[in-house]
Amino acid sequence: MSHNSTILGIESSCDDTAAAVIHNGVILSNVMATQDVHRKYGGVVPELASRAHQSNIIPVIDEALKIANMSLQNIDAIAVTQGPGLMGSLIVGLNTAKGLSIALNKPLIGVNHLQAHVAALFIDHQVEFPMLCLLVSGGHTQLIMVESFDQMNIVGNTIDDAVGEAFDKGAKLMNLGYPGGPIISKLAENGNPNTYSFPDSQTSNLDFSFSGIKTSLLYFLRKQIETDPQFLEQEISSVCASYQKCLIDMLCKRLTKGIKQFNPKSIGLVGGVSANQPLRAEFAKIALKYNIPSYIPKFEYCTDNAAMIAIAGSFLHQTDRHLKISDLPYTRS
Ligand code: KG4
Ligand code: ZN
C-alpha cells in the first residue's frame, strides 16, 4: 500500500461519533464521542443519535486533528462511512465530509463500514491471505473470505439477528442496560458457563441464526421466575456466563467449519463483539488447533471507530476511488 497520504476518517453510522487521522499508514489519532443518551432506552434511538452526531462531529474532528498535530490543510483526502448504518446518523458524517471536501478542494472517499471493520486488522498486522474473517458486530455477523482489501467474499451470514444484537437484546430482557455485550460479559466473570444451556439453531452451511436463542432465553427466564421470583437476582452471573458461552460456541462452530471448508492461510476476528474476552480466547484456541496465524484488532479498533475508516480510505485513495460530490451515497451497503 502506498503510504504517502494523510487521510481524515469520519465515522457516524450508529451511535458513536468518531474521527481519526492516518499518515503514511500510521494512525496518529483516533477520537470517539460515545452517546450516553441511549442508555436509558436499552438501545439506540435513531433520532437522538442523529442529533448527538450533529453536536459532536465538529469537536471530534477538531480533536483528532489536534492530537495528530495536523491542520485541515495537511489532509490529502476525507474518508467517511457511506453505509451500512442508520440513515440519519450517516447523513451527518457524509455531509460534514462533503462540506470539508468542497471547502478544502480535497477528494471525498466513501467507505463501506463492514469492509472497514476488516481493514482494522491491517493497521497492526501483516495479514497472510487468504484470511477467513469472522465479523461480529451489533448489526452484522458474517464469515468473509478475504483475498485482499479489494476482494472480500461473504461465505456465511446471519439469517436474522446479529450476535451483538443477541447480547444487547438478552441484556434488555434481564434489565441490564445498553450496550448489552460488555455488561453481560462483566457479569459472566463471576458465573459458571456450564450451568444452563440454550439451543443453537439449525442453519445451512456457514450461516448464523440468533433470534432463536434470544427467544429461548426469554421463555427460560419466564419459567424460572414463575417458580422463584428471586431467580434472576441470585443466578444472574451464571445465566450471563451460560448465555455468553452458547453464543460463542455458535460462532466458533461456524468458524471451524469454514476453516475446514476453505483451508485459509490465516483467520481474523473483527467488529464490536471481538472486544469480548472469552471469544478472543476461544478464537486463539482455534488458531492454535489448526496451526494458523490469527489476528484481532486492538480493543480501540474493535468497536466502531474512525481509525478503521481512515485505513480503508487510504487503500481507496491509493487507486483514486473518490466520490463525486453530487453523488447521493446514502444507501451503499
Ligand atoms: O461494531 P460495533 O461497535 O457496532 C456495529 O457496527 O454494530 O458493535 C457493537 C456491538 C454491540 O452489540 C455490543 O453489545 C457489542 O458490540 N460488544 C460486545 C462487547 N463490546 C461490545 N459484545 C460482547 N462482549 C463485549 N465485550
Ligand atoms: Zn461497526
Kindly calculate the radius of gyration of the chain based on its CA atoms and give it in whole angstroms: 20
185: Cβ below 6 Å to ligand 1? yes
12: Cβ below 6 Å to ligand 1? no
pTM of the model as a whole: 0.94
Taking a C-beta distance cutoff of 8 angstroms, is the pair 325, 101 a contact?
yes
164: Cβ below 6 Å to ligand 1? yes
Q: In this predicted structure, what is the pLDDT of residue 62? A: 98
88: Cβ below 6 Å to ligand 1? no
Kindly identify the ligand whose nearest atom is closest to the C-alpha of 166: 1
Q: In this predicted structure, what is the pLDDT of residue 195? A: 98
120: Cβ below 6 Å to ligand 1? no
Q: In this predicted structure, what is the pLDDT of residue 18? A: 98
Distance 228 CA to ligand 2 centre (A): 38
> Which residues fall inside 5 Å of ion ligand 2, going by CB?
137, 304
Structural domain boundaries in the chain:
6-119+302-318, 126-296
Q: Which residues contact 318 (CB under 8 A, 6 or more apart)?
A: 1, 2, 5
How many whole angstroms from its chain centre is CA 6? 24
138: Cβ below 6 Å to ligand 1? yes
> What are the Cα distances from residue 82, in Å, to 1, 73, 121, 155, 314?
22, 23, 20, 23, 15
Q: In this predicted structure, what is the pLDDT of residue 54? A: 95
Q: Which atom of ligand 1 is nearest to the CA of 171?
A: 14
φ/ψ of 183, rounded to 5, equals -70, -50
Distance 2 CA to ligand 1 centre (A): 31
304: Cβ below 6 Å to ligand 1? yes
Distance 223 CA to ligand 1 centre (A): 29
The per-residue pLDDT string of the chain (333 residues; one tens digit each, 9 = 90 and over) reads: 545 799 999 999 998 999 999 999 999 999 999 888 888 887 888 999 999 999 999 999 999 999 999 999 999 999 999 999 999 999 999 999 999 999 999 999 999 999 999 999 999 999 999 999 999 999 999 999 999 999 999 999 999 999 999 999 999 999 999 899 999 999 999 999 999 999 999 898 999 999 999 999 999 999 999 999 999 999 999 999 999 999 999 999 999 999 999 999 999 999 999 999 999 999 999 999 999 999 999 999 999 999 999 999 999 999 988 887 776 555 454
Cell readout for 285 is: 484456541
Q: Which atom of ligand 1 is nearest to the CA of 163?
A: 12
Distance 168 CA to ligand 1 centre (A): 8
How far apart are alpha carbons 135 and 45 in whole angstroms? 24
The C-alpha torsion from 119 through 120 and 124 to 130, rounded to 10°, is -40
Kindly identify the ligand whose nearest atom is closest to the C-alpha of 240: 1
Give the architecture (CATH level 2) of 6-119+302-318.
Answer: 2-Layer Sandwich (3.30)
Q: In this predicted structure, what is the pLDDT of residue 326? A: 72
85: Cβ below 6 Å to ligand 1? no
Distance 100 CA to ligand 2 centre (A): 24
How many whole angstroms from its chain centre is CA 179? 13
Q: Whose CA is nearest to atom 2 of ligand 1?
A: 272
Q: In this predicted structure, what is the pLDDT of residue 323? A: 87
Q: Which residues contact 290 (CB under 8 A, 6 or more apart)?
A: 259, 267
Give the mutation target among 135, 137, 296 for probing the ligand 1 site: most ligand atoms within 8 A of CB: 137
How far apart are alpha carbons 333 and 323 in whole angstroms? 15
Give the architecture (CATH level 2) of 126-296.
Answer: 2-Layer Sandwich (3.30)
Distance 59 CA to ligand 2 centre (A): 21
275: Cβ below 6 Å to ligand 1? yes
